[in-house]
Amino acid sequence: MVIDDSNTIRRSAEIFLMQAGCQVILAENGFDALAKIADHQPDLIFVDIMMPRLDGYQTCALIKKNGKHRLTPVIMLSSKDSLFDRARGRMVGSDEYLTKPFSKDSLLKTVESHLASKRAAEQASST
């Protein structure tokens, strides 16, 4: 899932991910995303930090507070790359921080590493 109020970012991520064989769900804000997460159960969520009404930090915190989605990796997307922004993302439960504009390679490497980690965590929690 890609949550971003920028159509350009959503479409770029969608194209990169679809070319890699991923199914992609798009949302343009946090409220839209929360409804779609409940319906689609995404394996990985990219969320923009700067969005109107419900920002990325709030969206991430709500996702991680839901027991069903606490193991779902959430990657913060931002054009800001300060230590403060990264730390704030960690405080709300994000798993990684990806700086925009991102490359196809950096996006796909992030997907690969987090899906492998998620599978390992799910296997460990089911035993």
Domain boundaries along the sequence of the chain: 2-126
Instruction: Determine the 3-state secondary structure of 98 from DSSP.
Output: strand
**2-126 adopts what CATH topology?**
Rossmann fold (3.40.50)
Instruction: Determine the 3-state secondary structure of 111 from DSSP.
Output: helix
pLDDT-derived band at 112, boundaries 50, 70, 90: very high
The answer to whether residue 3 scores a pLDDT higher than 90 is yes
pLDDT (tens digit per residue) in 41-87: 999 999 999 998 899 999 999 999 988 998 899 999 998 888 888 89
The structure's pTM equals 0.91
Name the β-bridge partners of 47.
Answer: 3, 76
18 or 120: which leads in pLDDT: 18
Q: Is 28 exposed, middle or buried (0-12, 13-18, 19+ CB in 10 A)?
A: middle
- pLDDT value at residue 127: 65
- pLDDT value at residue 116: 79
pLDDT (tens digit per residue) in 13-36: 999 999 999 999 999 999 999 999
